[in-house]
Amino acid sequence: MNKITNYFSLIIILILSQASLAYSSEEIPGEYLVKLKENFTARSLVSAFSQKNNKARLVSNESNILLVSRPIVELKSFAMESLLSHQEVEYVEPNRVIHLLAAPNDPELEKLWGLINESKNGDRGVDILAREAWELTTGSKDVIVAVIDTGVDYSHPDLQENMWVNKAEQQGSPGVDDDNNGFVDDIYGYNFADKSSDPMDDQGHGTHCSGTIGAKGNDGVGVVGVNWDVSIMALKFLDSEGAGTLEGAIGAIDYAIANGARVLSNSWGGYFESTALEEAVKRTNQANAIFIAAAGNERNNNDKRKKLNPASIQIDNVVSVAAVAKSGSMAWFSNFGEKFVHLGAPGVDIYSTKPNDSYGLSSGTSMATPHVSGVAALVLSRFPNLTNLELKEKLLNSTTPLTSLQGKTTTGGFLNAYEAVK
């Protein structure tokens, strides 16, 4: 009997914890759990409840519950009242699908405060509510995120499964542009820094950003990204010193949209004006992609003195990201701007993948940006038909208000994955 009691209290805890987070597990149409009163046995009533279009089966002897299937066209309220009208019945409830609580088994999860910021005693600090978001979606390989950066270590054990792969080239002939997209042997993306097919990261920055977007989740290895599953397109235009050209940047941007990326993650920039860059960003808007960009790390007010591009480019699909520390304060180095910077995201002491099968901490609006890119991809995994501007609206309207970001960003808020994907 004790076992039975425990079993039921477990179910109640699951349902309550889901309800408190406003989740609803789905009811299964036409299926009802029918609990029999103590002086009746469910087993002996199977045939009595299997009349006409109804089918009944025993859930378990211990539960004294029948699972009764009725025509799915029937109104739920009618079916439940009709079942309750039997004198043997104690209560009736709809059968439902229950999902396991999504907690990945990646061993270094506790270092990822930006995703889950929880102390041992359960106190909750500022984080993007990744765990709650993962109840609804953990991402999809169908969503392509272009990481426009120093490249990506596509052989990293925590990244290789989540790399975008150009299958025509992977299975094609070396030296031949198998998919006829203008780039020879571009399997994982392209290297615009030295115009080669190999976007391997020789610096580390792009690999770190990629891990935040989509280190493989629940694989028992290392860390987890905002997305457990996603397709990361490696577009290298910054060299081993972290420097690149406008030409390379524009090449990478155009490659991204020509090859299906919906999210472009841009943890780079400079204080310059460029019509060519603006026009490239405009093309990403026309291509229904979202352009996420780092606000910069010079404590600059991007509204006033200098405009950091591409983050400050005034095109509708651009999202400019400030960095926030674990305490909830804006990072001391972060650029800001009530008109030109949209929201804050985790950007101090961010733990993620590094080249050569390693991991490490980095700080910067560069690290905040892939959190937003990651959430954009997570939203698209659930709502693939959103336009880029609807997606931007979801990202901005779902933020958590944060005092430190008031007057410093257009939203005054911090990235909220759960509210964004809900």
| Cα gap 411→41, rounded to integer Å | 59
Report the nearest approach of Ca ion to the CB of residue 362 (Å). Answer: 18
Q: Which two tokens stand for residue 228?
A: 């457990």
In Å, how far are 52, 53, 55, 88, 389 from 76, measured between CA atoms? 17, 15, 16, 20, 38
| Cα gap 279→29, rounded to integer Å | 51
Nearer to Ca ion, 221 or 249 (CB): 221
| Cα gap 132→75, rounded to integer Å | 32
Nearer to Ca ion, 198 or 219 (CB): 219
Binding mask 146-185 for Ca ion (x = CB under 5 A): ------------x----------x--x---xxxx-x-x-x
Residues from 299 through 358 that contact Ca ion (CB under 5 A): none
CB distance 406 to 118 below 8 Å: no
Q: How far is CA 323 from the centre of its chain?
A: 18
**303 exposure class (CB count in 10 Å sphere: 0-12, 13-18, 19+):** middle
156 is catalytic: no
Nearer to Ca ion, 214 or 337 (CB): 214
Q: Is 216 near Ca ion (CB under 5 A)?
A: yes
Q: Is 229 near Ca ion (CB under 5 A)?
A: no
Report the nearest approach of Ca ion to the CB of residue 164 (Å). Answer: 13
Report the nearest approach of Ca ion to the CB of residue 259 (Å). Answer: 9
| Cα gap 229→105, rounded to integer Å | 14
Report the nearest approach of Ca ion to the CB of residue 204 (Å). Answer: 18
Report the nearest approach of Ca ion to the CB of residue 250 (Å). Answer: 18
Strands (E), 342-387: 343-346, 350-354, 358-362
Report the nearest approach of Ca ion to the CB of residue 263 (Å). Answer: 20
- One of 149, 178, 201, 202 is an active-site residue; which one? 149
Report the nearest approach of Ca ion to the CB of residue 185 (Å). Answer: 4
DSSP for 36-87, please give it: EPTTS-GGGGTTTT--TT-EEEEEETTTTEEEEE--TTS-HHHHHHHHHTST
Residue among 31, 88, 198, 219 that touches Ca ion (CB under 5 A): 219
3 state DSSP class of 365: helix
Q: Tokens 């280190």 identify what position? A: 215
Residues from 60 through 119 that contact Ca ion (CB under 5 A): 106
What are residue 69's DSSP bridge partners? 31, 55
Q: How many of the chain's residues bind Ca ion (CB under 5 A)? A: 16
Nearer to Ca ion, 313 or 417 (CB): 417
3 state DSSP class of 123: coil
Nearer to Ca ion, 219 or 349 (CB): 219
Residue among 65, 163, 200, 221 that touches Ca ion (CB under 5 A): 221
149 is catalytic: yes
99 is catalytic: no
CB distance 321 to 345 below 8 Å: yes
| Cα gap 359→224, rounded to integer Å | 12
Site residues (CB under 5 A) for Ca ion? 106, 158, 169, 172, 176-179, 181, 183, 185-186, 216, 219, 221-222
Could you give the residue numbers annotated as active site? 149, 205, 366
